[in-house]
Amino acid sequence: MLIGAGSGYLFFTMTPPVFESQAVFSFLIDQSKTGALTDLEQDGSIVAAGDVFYSSDVAQQVVDAAQKQGVDFNINNFRQNAFIERTNSEWTLRLRSNNPEASTRLVNLWADISNDQLKIGMRHAGLSGIYQHQLESLVRCVEQVPGWSRPHPPADFPLF
């Protein structure tokens, strides 16, 4: 029994501690703005946010910001020590490091950069809604022109 305790203590002293910091994003979809969404559509929106958190652009921005702050961190460190986890409508960003201050600083950078990217995406989505509304208004105007009929694309027209 003492041998087991001694080997456990030896392992403990030889293994550096690992600290983990986290940031949590909660998502709420305002259906007064989006209209009624199915569960699948809501889920797709939340999954898309997860794609932003772990995108190459966000990862590179985190690495660049960390290096500017003097933290020794590269893209491989990010990929090995950064994790995202989804629970219902929440995404948790987790980052591990041997240094507790670095872990906290890095996860905060990651959360801030991700939040900025999500805001940009929301602005684009808002513009998309405006453009869609304007397009529908133009179509309604054109449909009122006497003798106008909706053109049909050629049979070999590529549809996405």
Tokens describing residue 71: 């933290």
Mean pLDDT over residues 82-91, rounded? 91
Q: Could you tell me where the DSSP H helices lie in 15-143?
A: 31-34, 39-53, 56-68, 75-81, 100-143
Q: Is the pLDDT of residue 151 over 80?
A: no
Tallying the residues shown for the chain, one arrives at 160
What's the rounded mean pLDDT across residues 128-155? 77
The stretch 76-102 carries a mean pLDDT of: 92
Per-residue pLDDT, averaged over 100-126, amounts to: 90
Q: In this structure, what is the dihedral angle of CA atoms 39, 41, 43, 49, given to the nearest 10 degrees?
A: -160
Query: What average pLDDT score do residues 122-143 get?
Result: 79
Residue 160 confidence (pLDDT) above 60: no
Backbone angles phi and psi of 110, in degrees to 5: -60, -45
User: In terms of DSSP H, where are the helices of 38-74?
Assistant: 39-53, 56-68
By percentage, how much of the chain surpasses pLDDT 90? Answer: 37
What is the predicted pLDDT for the residue at 50?
87
Per-residue model confidence as pLDDT tens digits over 9-21: 676 666 788 899 9
| pLDDT band, residue 159 (cuts 50/70/90) | low
Cβ atoms 128, 43 nearer than 8 A: no
Every domain of the chain and the residues it spans: 15-114
pTM of the predicted protein model: 0.73
| pLDDT tens-digit series, residues 34-80 | 778 788 888 888 888 889 998 999 999 999 999 999 888 899 999 99
